[in-house]
Amino acid sequence: METIDGVSIYPILSFLIFFTLFVGAVAYILLKDRKSIEEISLLPLDNDKDFSHEETK
Amino acid sequence: MQAETFYYDNKIVRNFTVATIIWGVIGLLVGLWIALSLVYPEMNLASWLSFGRLRALHTNGAIFAFVGNAIFAGIYYSLQRLLKTRMASDLLSKVHFWGWQLIIVAAVITLPLGITSSKEYAELEWPIDIGIALIWVIFGVNMFWTILKRRERHLYVAIWFYIATFVTVAVLHIVNNLELPINAFKSYSIFAGVQDALVQWWYGHNAVAFFLTTPVLGLMYYFVPKAANRPVYSYRLSIIHFWALIFLYIWAGPHHLLYTSLPDWAQSLGTVFSIMLIFPSWGGMINGLLTLRGAWDKVRDSAILKFFVVAITAYGMSTLEGPLLSLKNFNAIAHYTDWIPAHVHIGTLGWNGFMIFGMIYYLMPKLYKTSLFSEKLANAHFWIATTGILFWALPMYVSGWTQSLMWKEFNPDGTLVYGNFLETVTQLIPLYFTRAIGGTLYIIGMLIMVVNIVRTVSTGKLVAQEEASALPLSSTEYKKVKGEHWHRWIERKPVQLMLFSIVAILIGGIIEIVPTLMVKSNIPTISDVKPYTALELEGRDLYIREGCNACHSQMIRPFRSEVARYGEYSKAGEFVYDHPFLWGSKRTGPDLHRVGGKYPHSWHYNHMLDPTSMSPGSIMPTYEWMYTSDLNTEYTTAKLEAMVSLGVPYSADYIANAEKHLMAQAEEIAAELESQLTDVEVGPKEEIVALIAYLQRLGIDIKGTPSKHTEATVAGNQTAEK
């Protein structure tokens, strides 16, 4: 494998890409406002309203 | 603004759920059959019932039929409700459903017939592969179309997991199944040896990651909050879980190839990313379990929550065990042993199976607008299946450690204590029996579920069209609000989310795969390594047909214990003509890479007819049908030509006289067999002759004494002589 030109760049590159992505994801999460997070996390439960709507009909 | 009324399509969800149950029972029964055939080898009743062929049917059945149908059921149910819209196209839903069942039926027919490409979890031959690709695209189109016509602005995290699943499986499936067809039932991988191995395990590991994990995590993020009636513990954590997981998983494949001929740097890359995977996986596990905060009292009564809790716990256990197994020191012990199936089954029986059972118990009463027939039966299912998992996995852990210790034990004089591999097999049979009891319990649990669901359904009526209403999304909401967060833009635009996911998974794939494609020109070539003769190539295809690679590896790792047992360790340069590679992943029987020349032809002849005649106590199946059927040489020339176009240096002269060369070698072997055996007539056209030719060729090239048949393959070929 030493015969591949610049093979040593691969692990460094992989680490940098991962690190950047990870920091980006964390930053995004920390910066996102609480209200919209709560709103989205309630989405699966939201539909129960539709259920009751249908059931009471 | 006026709320719009629309209808959820429940029928498609019901259909996929029923398919899940039916194929689940069948797939697992096949598993039980092959588990028992390791204890009672006489259960290999016929060619199409032999272990090597049925093993692929079991794995494909469990993954693509059982889990596959279940994830489609869950996706079709949750997607409609999370997006507050009906699936975009009923026609596409139907084509998806029936197309997928057709693919499964094709697998059920072709795999027992020995029609296989040999690559694990991608065994199906090329026409079926194309079918899978088409149906997968139909599923993707239907999903994206639904997303585009949604009435909910945000895409809940479950949908992100579905999108990542769709794009990644598409990429993996296509790349790993790049094959050159010979006829409708036979093809050769365009990759060879080391490259084929890397592509295969990049695929193989990500089949686990993106077929058995990410879609099921999507289901977890939807159904666990539903069943517990509270939102996910931390939505923030779920987003980190998503991005970290899809980005890391795609790199982890090479941990299946530690200590093999794969370049070291690629092995290390696989290990590092596997270890990092602990963090997102456990983040996800904790997120799932803590969703039950304040609801733990419900777990006592609710079978659904019990299934979910054990499923998530099993997810946590196998995602810790997986990274540990990818450390070289663990891998040296565990690889090729029963530890690996134990690990795998914690994932499939525990994580996948229990998520699916919980989901079925949740869905079916809802779809039929009734309540579950018996919570008690569901609880009984839970306890029996949990016991089943323990009975399955614990003996296999013990078996794996026993194997490994016995393989590596030396006498003070430096010889192997268990020099005969068979001793390390017979030792395990009671454990294999216990494992089969575990499987039986698990299936009994499923049958209890079948009764419960049938009774449930009979008390209700399918609500095929479930009415719902929601406000439409006004077009103004799509406009960018000044100062809004950039990620909102992705969330609103599913297409961008898909593109980001593709980029995330491609980075890993490309950095790992591209250098290996360069390996072709960089691989340390061994000038003594020559192409297989026509007869050996046909024998190799028989080896593939019978699924020998399900139990025998062809990869001797550079350990003292392996070199002492099998001979010189395997070199990358020895596999350059292997389309596909046949390294295997499990040693139920011994490694075969250096079996060539180890025994006389007659040994193989007797052994394949009745393994116990040469190895008393052997659990290998008989291959008696290879003594009565003639080798099909109709495609021999086409096969050689295909190999040439893949870069194997057969000379034009050899191909022109392939049939003649094949017969000359076959007659020589048949004559030798007749001289070694008494009162046996051997027809040179018998399949067994070709198989013996292949086995006797394995691993002998580096000894540098090629037979005249081998020399002939490249004779008159200038490039080969250079």
Q: B676 Cβ partners below 8 Å, 6+ apart?
A: B600, B601, B602
Contact B156 A13 (CB under 8 A): no
Confidence of residue B506 (pLDDT cuts 50, 70, 90): confident
pLDDT tens digit string along B440-491?
999 999 999 999 999 999 999 999 999 998 888 865 455 555 555 555 555 5
Q: Which of A13, A29, A44 sits opposite B236 (nearest CB)?
A: A29
Which chain A residues are within 8 Å of B266, Cβ to Cβ? 1
Put simply, the answer to whether A40 touches B84 (Cβ < 8 Å) is: no
CA distance B411 to chain A (A): 37
**Which residue of A40, A46, A52 to mutate against B (max B Cβ within 10 Å)?**
A40
User: What percent of chain B is predicted at pLDDT more than 70?
Assistant: 95
Spatial CB neighbours of A35, under 8 Å, sequence gap ≥ 6: none
pLDDT per residue of chain A (57 residues) written in tens, 0 to 9: 455 666 667 767 777 877 787 788 788 878 877 888 888 888 888 755 444 333 333
Alpha helices for A1-57 (secondary structure H)? 9-31, 34-41, 43-46, 48-56
In this prediction, residues B535-560 reach a mean pLDDT of 96
- Nearest by CB to A13, from B243, B265, B511: name it: B511
Q: Which residue has the tokens 């059945």?
A: B61
Predicted-complex ipTM score: 0.70
Shortest alpha-carbon distance between residue B229 and chain A (Å): 7
- Cβ distance A43 to B251 less than 8 Å, yes or no, reads no
What pLDDT score was predicted for residue B492? 60
Burial pattern B484-518, b for ≥16 Cβ within 10 A else e, equals eeebeebbbbbeebbebbbebbebbbebbbebbeb
Q: Is the pLDDT of residue B395 over 60?
A: yes
- Given a cut of 90, whether residue B116 has pLDDT beyond it is yes
Beta bridge partners of B187: B181
- Cβ distance A25 to B466 less than 8 Å, yes or no, reads no
Whether residue B497 is predicted with pLDDT greater than 90 in this model: the reply is no
Q: Specify whether the CB–CB gap between B122 and B200 falls below 8 A.
A: yes
Q: Distance of alpha carbon B28 from its chain centroid, rounded?
A: 15
Local structure of B351: helix, strand or coil: helix
Interchain CB contact of B225 with A (< 8 Å): yes
Shortest alpha-carbon distance between residue A37 and chain B (Å): 7
**Nearest-CA distance from A27 to chain B in Å?**
10
**Which residues of A are less than 8 Å from B247 in CB distance?**
18, 21-22
pLDDT higher than threshold 70 for residue B265: yes
Name the nearest CA neighbour of B288 among B394, B213, B388, B362. B213
Q: Which amino acid is at B124?
A: L
